[in-house]
Amino acid sequence: MDPGISIWADSLRKVYRSGGAEVLVFDELELEVRRGERLAIIGESGAGKSTLLHLLGGLDRPTSGRVFVEQHEITALNEKDLADFRNRQIGFVWQNPSLLHEFTALENVMMPLMIRGVSATAARDASKKLLQEVGLLSRAHHLAGELSGGEQQRVSLARALIGKPKFIFADEPTGSLDFRTGESIMNLLTDLHSTYGLTSVFVTHNLVFASRCDRVLELKKGCLQKASVGELQAAGVLRDATRLDGGTYV
C-alpha cells in the first residue's frame, strides 16, 4: 500500500435486510484517503454516506470487503480491539452532538480519556486546554443541556480531539445549526485540522463546507465519483444542499 494513503476501503459491499428483502447500499466500492487530506463526501439523502462513514470508522462492519486505517485492517479486529482502536485513533463528530446533558461540558470532554484509564486530574487538565481552544472554557462547568446548539457542537469537537486522534470523521457537523453558527464551526474544523495534523472525512450536504475541502466525492447509486461543486449545483443534484451563493435548493 502507498505509505501516503491513510485510509483504504477495498471492495466494500454493504447489504441491509429490511423485512424479507435485501437492500444493497453499495458493492465493490473503493476509496483511498491520503494522509492529511480533507475529504468531503456528498450525495442525496439515503445514498449511503453515513453508512460509509460508519464502515470507515469501525462503527459498523461491511457485508464483505476490507477497511485499512493506517495500514491496520480494522475489519479484521475483534470488538474489544476495534473499540480501543477507535478510542485512540478516531474522533467522531455528529450532527447531534450526543452530549450527556446531566454532565458538564468539562465532564463530557473528559470521558474518552477516563474510559482509557487516564487519571481524573490529567483528563481534567487536558480537557480544559481543549475547551479553551474551541472558545468554551468559560462554560466548562455548565451542564451540557444549558448550552446552545453551537456551544454543544464545540464541546463535541473538543471531545473528539481529547484522545489526540489521527482522524476526524464528521457526519453533517453543521446540519442542525443556523448559517452563521455553522460557518463558525466550519472555520473551527478547518483550524483544528491544520493545528493537529489530522486526516478528515466529512459527510455533508453543505456545498460551501464541501468546497473548502481538498477533494469532493459524490456517492451516487453505490459509486463514488468526482464532481465539481459547480457541476452539482448546475445539475441540481442536491436539492437540500446549501448553494455557494447563499440560500438553498429548497
pLDDT in tens, 116-144: 999 999 999 999 999 999 999 999 999 99
| Domains of the chain, each with CATH number or no CATH | 37-47+78-235 (3.40.50.300)
Spatial CA neighbour of 208 closest among 169, 167, 238, 166: 238
Spatial CA neighbour of 208 closest among 235, 226, 190, 192: 190
Where are any strands of DSSP class E within 124-214? 167-171, 199-203
Spatial CA neighbour of 188 closest among 218, 148, 161: 161
DSSP H helices, 26-134, are 49-56, 79-89, 105-116, 120-133
**Helix (H) or strand (E) segment spanning residue 99:** none
Spatial CA neighbour of 109 closest among 91, 96, 95: 91
Per-residue pLDDT at 205: 86
Residues 68, 76: contact at Cβ < 8 Å?
A: no
Separation of alpha carbons 130 and 155, rounded Å: 9
Residue 249 has pLDDT above 70, yes or no: no
pLDDT in tens, 56-72: 999 999 999 999 999 89
For residue 244, the 8-state DSSP code is T
Residue 171 has pLDDT above 80, yes or no: yes
Residue 160 has pLDDT above 90, yes or no: yes
Residue 235 has pLDDT above 60, yes or no: no
Length of the chain: 250
